Structures are given as structure tokens and as C-alpha cells.
Amino acid sequence: MVTDVGVREISYIQAFNEALTDEMRRDPTVMVMGEDVAGAGGREGFEDAWGGVMRLTKGLYPEFGPSRVRDTPISEAGFIGAGVGAAATGLRPVVELMYVGFYGVCADQITNNAAKMHYMFGGKVKIPLTIFAGTGAGTNSAAQHSETLYSLFVHFPGLKCVAPSDPYTAKGLLIASIRDDDPVIVFNNRQLMGLRPEGHVPEESYEIPIGEARIVREGSDVTLIGVGYTTHVCRQAAADLEAEGYSAEVLDLLSLSPMDEDAIVSSVQKTRKVVIVDEDYPRCSMAGDISALVAEQAFDYLDAPPRRVTPPHTSVPYSRPLEALYVPNKDDVVAAAHEVME
């Protein structure tokens, strides 16, 4: 395979790691906490043994040391809450919540403190905290380790939420999240983190503004809206549709809260049909939210009702054949696109 001159392809994990490293170099108030983010608890001769369960924080401990890079005990309520307090008093903590399903252990700290302190205290306190969490099914990990849970966080006023969809957006969104003065949740899909590097990632630092969606593929017949991993699925579906002679536009949501309503509405106004693809549980979800937005603001333009492609209303199964039915795939998206284009 020939790579274009000037194209720098790195993996999602490398891109995320690079953003974190850059920000720690630039700003001494940035610190990192989480389980095994260095590994081995700093044991001599074994420093940086893990660099995080997904290796997102590899190399930080040797460069920045034990004060700014901390392995934590398995005490999510404790260390996420400590992240809130440290943020309120002058640091910019970046804290790993390994898998998003573990939110339950520390939900109080996220939703009652991080989300509300700025508001309750009359805007006098800022919580520049970044929490990143692994999401998604498809890894044979069963119901507690495969959730997505976007809408749970988006629901809370005061929390910002972003879902990168590739290495480029992983880097730019993480940098923007760390620099943001509000608490931001960054959702890292596990399947995306395992994909082969694709697309250019600039070496220099850059921000992708929180609150802006992007069109990753222009089209005129139907809008496919993806969130994180499902953007990848939408791209595959769009390629299939193109082979059939349809022109699909793919909108990559990127930012879940705030959400780029204008980008959604104007794409739908152009294509007049929309398929929203979301890996989260279907009830009270991003897909439902976007569908309502389209119904309210682009109703007169629609040739067909908005169509959602989601898993069924069930927990994530362990057994692989069942799990394969659970996660939306490109065939589901192509079928839904046919439905709305008919």
C-alpha cells in the first residue's frame, strides 16, 4: 500500500496519547489519573508497565512522573470525585473511567458535582475536568463491559460530551476537551481503537471545536448520521450505496452535547431523508433526540419519516452470534436507507 506523501497515519490510540502528551507538556496543571494508567503502582524497574488498559496513557509516567500521572486504587467514586475537587481548585485533571459501564460506581460525583457545581455556585466555580471512557459492544465482553450510554451523560445539563470517530478526531477533540473549562466526557469506542490507522493526523497540536459536527462524505440522496463507531459503519454503508448508484451523505456527529443542530438540519434539508445510526440503547437516546430535532425543524423537507438504526431494547449478550445481531452493521444501515429512499 502506498501512502500519500505528507499523510501521517497513526492509530486512534497513538493519536489520543499524542494529544495527552502535548497537553501535559504545554500546561503543567494537566494531570492524569486512573487504574493502571502507568501500571505497577510505580514499582521500581516496572514503571509504565501498562500505560492504561487500552494503552492510551503509555509513556506519560516516565516523562511526567508520579505526581502528575497517578495509578489509582479501584475507587472510582474516590478518584473521579477527587478529579472534580482538583479541577475546582486549579488543576485540569484527565481521568480514565476504564469502561463507561463503571459510571454507576461514581455517578454521584459526575452528575451531582461535576455537572452542577458551576450552576449551583452561581457560575463562580469552574470544573475543567476531562473523563474518558471506553464504550461499545462487539468484543465478547457481556452486558457490563459493552455499553455505550451516551444519552445518560448528555441528559445532564453541565456536562459536555464528545465521541471521536477516528484518529484525527480523537486527537483534536481530546485537546479541545482538556482546554475546555467545563467537564467533558470523551467516549472512546473499543472497536475504533482497534482499527488500522487511516487518514492524516497532523503532528502539530490542533483543536476540533466542541459543538461542531462534520460532513465526512457529501451526498444528495440520503443523510446517514453516525456517532463514534457508527460513523465508521455509515461510511461503509455509503460506499455500498454508491456502488448501487445512490449518493449518501455521512454526517459525523462528534459532539453530543452541545450538538450541532444546524449541521443536521441543513444536511436533511438537502437530502430530504435521514437514517440515524446509534449503538446506544434505543430508548431516550441520541438517535431519538436527533429524530425529534429533525421532525421539529425539518419536517417540511422530509420525503420519509426519520429512521433510527439501533440495537434492540436489551442488555448486551455475551454469545458471539447474538452479539453480532446486537450491534448495528452496514447492512442494517443500507436496508434502512433503502426504506427511506423508496
- Residues forming contacts to ligand TPP in the complex (CB under 6 A) are 35, 74, 76, 98, 102, 105
Whether residue 260 contacts residue 273, with contact meaning beta carbons closer than 8 Å, is answered with no
Name 282's Cβ contacts closer than 8 Å, sequence gap at least 6: 288, 308, 310, 311, 312, 313
By CB under 8 A, name the one of 25, 200, 283, 320 that touches another protein.
Answer: 320
Q: Specify the 3-state DSSP secondary structure of 279.
A: coil
Determine if 16 is a binding residue for another protein (CB under 8 A).
Answer: no
DSSP 33: E
Distance, CA of 97 to CA of 131 (rounded, Å): 7
Determine if 143 is a binding residue for another protein (CB under 8 A).
Answer: yes
Nearest residue (CB) to ligand TPP, 49 versus 341: 49
State the cell numbers at 220. Answer: 444528495
Determine if 171 is a binding residue for another protein (CB under 8 A).
Answer: no
Q: Return the residues of window 79-118 that contact another protein according to CB under 8 A.
A: 101-102, 104-105
Which of another protein, ligand TPP, none has residue 325 at its interface (CB below 5 to 8 Å by kind)? Answer: another protein
**Please, what is the end-to-end C-alpha distance for the chain in angstroms?**
39
Distance, CA of 14 to CA of 88 (rounded, Å): 29
Considering the candidates 145, 155, 232, 313, report the single residue annotated as catalytic. 145
Sheet holding 30-34, edge to edge: 69-71, 30-34, 92-99, 130-135, 184-189, 160-162, 255-257
State the residue for C-alpha cell 514499582: 43
Question: CB 71 → ligand TPP: shortest distance, Å?
Answer: 11
Question: CB 125 → ligand TPP: shortest distance, Å?
Answer: 28
Determine if 42 is a binding residue for another protein (CB under 8 A).
Answer: yes
Whether residue 216 contacts residue 252, with contact meaning beta carbons closer than 8 Å, is answered with yes
**Amino acid making up residue 123:** G
Q: Near another protein by CB under 8 A, which window of 14-22, 57-65, 69-77, 173-181?
A: 69-77
Determine if 125 is a binding residue for another protein (CB under 8 A).
Answer: no
Q: Near another protein by CB under 8 A, which window of 139-147, 159-167, 246-254, 298-306?
A: 139-147
To the query of whether residue 145 is one of the catalytic residues in this protein, the response is yes
Question: CB 317 → another protein: shortest distance, Å?
Answer: 5
Q: What are the residue numbers of the active site?
A: 145
Residues lying near another protein in the complex (CB under 8 A) are found at: 35-36, 39-43, 46, 49-50, 53, 71-78, 101-102, 104-105, 139-145, 312-315, 317-322, 325-326
